Structure 1
Amino acid sequence: MRFLSAVTLAAFLSTTPAHAQSTTLKMATIAPSLGQAITMATFANVVTDNLDDISIEVSGGGAATLHQLEVGRGNLEMSMTSPVIYNLMAGGKAMYKNEAEAPELAKNVRLLMWFPYGAYHFAVRADSDIQVLDDIEGASVFLGPQGGGAYNAARGWIESSTGLVAGEDYDAIKANWATGYQAFLDGKIDVYVNGCLDPCGQFIQFTETENLRFIGPEDAEGEAVDKWLGKWRYRAETPAGLYAGQTNDGPVVSFDTAVGIAVRTDLDEDTVYRITKAFWDNLESVTSDAPWAQALDVKFAASKRGLMELHPGAERFYREAGVLD
């Protein structure tokens, strides 16, 4: 199977497999251009290609926080999740504080697999005067859609590592993923942020015509950073030489976290076992054409992160795979 670029992913998301299937499972993910959506669509494609009686229909767009509620309600079989948003849903906190049913719905949401979100890349044009994150005072920055998880994570990394506050020390622009990226392409903003498993389509496209540089804080250590990273985030490095127009002469420190595929608790155990097994047994079919897929790891997928428990069907596969005690 070929690597799913943003263009081919969009086509994949808008179609249903042509061959008849006895069971169709519905999956929702975030904007199709983003690496995490590509990972989830790849999962769906691999499963559909390798099981004759099950297909996964993917729709892209919207917020993972809302999709997770729909899994709990039984309107979707699968969605994106994370340790943070599941814990918030289970506790009825933050974006779920006005959703009285959220804690009860969380009981119908289990984990199929975790995968790395991808290192957060803080990018500037190669000729920018901004050399490190500490230099962005007064700059215009796209952190992600305001109110979303990516926005809050990027904002937190900057504040904990540099002391600079969004909206006070720099301008965090209001935009969705598509318009934020277009603003960077058009030279209307100084810094563009995107977390992804390299190679990331946005940076491949940008460096076809221009050079860029990834930036990190002057100091990525310290108590404030450690406290902000907490249990669910971890430092990560973006190496030099990943992209043709990347001018970094060494690795750049940022952070990464885990996201995952949530699945309905009441979905048949054997079905979840089979789709989990179909993906991991056939992952090698995509790694040669999708280098980012090499970052997927079965032990990471089954690791315990937060309150979320594995679906019994997924747990059965991971025990057979030898990655659970």
Structure 2
Amino acid sequence: MRLSIIAAAAMALAMAAAPAADAQTRVTFKSAKSGSSYYQMAVQLAEAMKAGDVSVTVEESQGSVQNVMEAAVRGGDYVFTSPPSLVGLARDGKAMFEARANPKFAEIRALFPIPSLTMHFVARDDEGIESLPDLAGHTLLLGKGSFGAREGEKYIGLFDLTDKVEIADAELNNAVAALKNGQIDAFVTAGSFPAPNVIEAAAGTGVTIISMSDDEIAKTGSTRVVIPAGTYPGQDADVVTTSLPVIAYTTTQMDDDTAYALTKAFWEEKAKLGETARWWNGVDPSFLGNIAGKIHPGALKYYEEAGMAVPDTAN
């Protein structure tokens, strides 16, 4: 009889413990191609979220368009990264979303910012290139197919450099060696800072990272960002340049408690993230101003508690 009582008590304890074991919320984080810096960021975020009550599984993506498209068919456990401008195009059914418009795109909601794609114009420091106009008469490597290559080509046209620079026919992964060997005078790259290829170039050759004027930035129509002095070897002053903001999003299907927990965990763990990967140090509350469209109510609750300002369009 006594054994039966003990067994019954043990079963009751096991049943009571079962809900607690399943209490952790599970989320899928869709970011970028494996091996990319943004995939690494997603893995780092997943690890950081372990400090809270949310378990994050990282899922490889072929790009931001795919991430946004899947927001229309995924459930409340879906988190993804995208530039705000792309989410706006989806919501309005424009550009690449014109033939794939979906009313569910209007249900996309922002959570928090992650490191931006930051433009770097990197020149040999012995070439006297201090500004974009100084690129005239020099050889520039843009690379092919990437955001940085497309943006760099756009800037060459904007600033009347089309017939004044020689574009090197080479891939971006050859940029550091080509710069060191004098085959090129400068290269363009875009990524979260500090960018590994810029660190390598600065340490091995000595470089100038071109700073843009506010008028030049306004002409590009892109978001202004500052790369702080000391980010790269030999960089003694702040570098003002442009960026493509990137935001972590979900949809209205995510419950408020989960959105709150994710957002809270991100900001509370960001300092630790920055200790192991410096690109997280470039993110601060001012990046919330890059969010276009609405923020998830659960995330808004955290921002209100933390006293962080959000755009007027956030609610």
Normalising to structure 2: TM-score of the pair?
A: 0.73
Structure 1 residues 164-209: Cα deviation after superposition (integer angstroms, max 9, x where no partner): 34xx65566788xxx52x2213316553323344332232334454
Structure 1 residues 196-247: Cα deviation after superposition (integer angstroms, max 9, x where no partner): 4433223233445433332346xx344x742432xx61253553x4333x4x
- Please report how far the alpha carbon of residue 73 of structure 1 lies from its aligned counterpart in structure 2 after TM superposition: 2.2
In 1, are the aligned partners of 2:115 and 2:279 still within 8 Å (CA)?
Answer: no
- RMSD, aligned α-carbons: 3.5
Structure 1 residues 270-317: Cα deviation after superposition (integer angstroms, max 9, x where no partner): 21211211222233323334343233224533x4632x2111221222
Partner of 2:29 in structure 1? 27
Aligned identity (percent) is 21
2:131 pairs with 1:163 = no
User: 1:279–1:115: structure 2 CA closer, same or farther, 3 Å change rule?
Assistant: closer
Matches within 5 A, 1:50-65: 50-52=51-53, 54-60=54-60, 62-65=62-65
Partner of 1:194 in structure 2? 189
- Please report how far the alpha carbon of residue 38 of structure 1 lies from its aligned counterpart in structure 2 after TM superposition: 4.1
Normalising to structure 1: TM-score of the pair?
A: 0.71
Pick aligned residue for 1:287 from 245, 269, 274 = 274
- Which structure has the larger Rg over C-alpha atoms? 2
2:237 pairs with 1:236 = no
- 1:27 is aligned with what amino acid? F
- Matches of 1:221 and 1:300 in 2, distance apart? 18
- Matches of 2:34 and 2:202 in 1, distance apart? 20
Pick aligned residue for 1:183 from 168, 171, 174 = 174
More displaced 10-residue stretch of structure 1: 123-132 or 64-73: 123-132
2:72 pairs with 1:72 = yes
- 1:319 is aligned with what amino acid? E
- 2:139 is aligned with what amino acid? A
Q: State the secondary structure of the residue aligned to 1:89.
A: helix
Structure 1 residues 111-144: Cα deviation after superposition (integer angstroms, max 9, x where no partner): 111245154211134445755432445634226x
In 1, are the aligned partners of 2:110 and 2:296 still within 8 Å (CA)?
Answer: yes
User: 1:174–1:63: structure 2 CA closer, same or farther, 3 Å change rule?
Assistant: farther
Partner of 2:200 in structure 1? 205
In 1, are the aligned partners of 2:259 and 2:299 still within 8 Å (CA)?
Answer: yes
- Matches of 2:301 and 2:286 in 1, distance apart? 14
Matches within 5 A, 1:1-325: 23-31=25-33, 35-47=37-49, 49-52=50-53, 54-60=54-60, 62-74=62-74, 77-97=78-98, 99-101=99-101, 103-117=102-116, 119-128=118-127, 130-137=129-136, 139-142=139-142, 145-146=144-145, 149-160=147-158, 162-165=159-162, 170=165, 179-180=171-172, 182-187=173-178, 190-216=185-211, 220-222=213-215, 225-229=217-221, 233-234=223-224, 236-237=226-227, 239=229, 241-244=230-233, 246=234, 250-298=237-285, 300-301=287-288, 303=289, 305-306=291-292, 308-323=293-308
Structure 1 spans left out of the alignment, 5+ residues: 1-18
Partner of 2:14 in structure 1? none
